[in-house]
């Protein structure tokens, strides 16, 4: 299976390496692996890679949110700006026709655009916080 992060590499050779315990070598690699953890429902990985001072007590992942595409806009220093495209399932909408959403079924599409900040502790990058950015298509943040 190809990695959900969009690298074009099989999961086991990409984000799967980090999910099994290897430290992500860059903030972008950590962000991609965290996105993949959201796709796969891996709350333990999200918790483990979140800086303690900003980490929630626990991650409660919504099973009705299906992430389907990631776009990295920039990765500079300890920040990464990205857009995560998702579908909110089990919503009273018609099936979505054609394009990238074809085959995902019914739901409401959305985009989360974020500028994430990371910090390195030892050999491990940690997610510190993110700022939601206005999306060019919707004019607002999700």
CA-to-CA distance for 135 and 83, rounded, in angstroms? 8
What pLDDT score was predicted for residue 93? 53
pTM of the full structure: 0.86
Which of 29, 41, 13, 40 has its CA nearest to residue 127? Answer: 29
> What percent of the chain is modeled with pLDDT above 70?
83
Q: pLDDT, tens digit, for every residue of 1-20?
A: 999 999 999 999 999 999 99
Beta-carbon contacts of 121 under 8 Å, excluding residues fewer than 6 positions away, are 51
The domains of the chain are located at 11-132
What pLDDT score was predicted for residue 108? 84
Q: What is the mean pLDDT of residues 89-99?
A: 57
Question: Which string of DSSP letters, residue by residue, matches the chain?
Answer: -B-TTSSSSBGGGTHHHHHTTPPPSSHHHHHHHHHHHHHHT-HHHHHHTB-TTT--SS----TTEEEEEEEEEEEETTEEEEEEEEEE-S-S-PBPPSGGGTTS-BSEEEEEEEEEEEEEETTEEEEEEEEE---TTTSS--
Q: Is the CATH number of domain 11-132 2.20.70.10?
A: no
What pLDDT score was predicted for residue 140? 41
Which of 72, 16, 73 has its CA nearest to residue 39? Answer: 16
């Amino acid at each position: 299976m190809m990695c959900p992060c969009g690298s074009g590499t099989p999961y086991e050779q990409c984000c799967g390496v980090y999910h099994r315990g290897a430290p992500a070598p860059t903030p972008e690699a950590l962000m991609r692996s965290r996105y993949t953890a959201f796709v796969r429902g891996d709350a333990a990985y999200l918790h483990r890679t979140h800086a303690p001072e900003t980490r929630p007590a626990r991650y409660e992942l919504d099973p009705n949110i299906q992430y389907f595409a990631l776009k990295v806009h920039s990765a500079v220093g300890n920040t990464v700006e990205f857009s995560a495209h998702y579908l909110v399932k089990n919503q009273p909408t018609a099936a979505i026709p054609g394009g990238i959403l074809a085959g995902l079924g019914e739901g409401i599409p959305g985009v989360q655009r974020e500028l994430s900040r990371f910090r390195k502790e030892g050999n491990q990058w940690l997610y510190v916080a993110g700022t939601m950015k206005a999306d060019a298509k919707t004019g607002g943040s999700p």
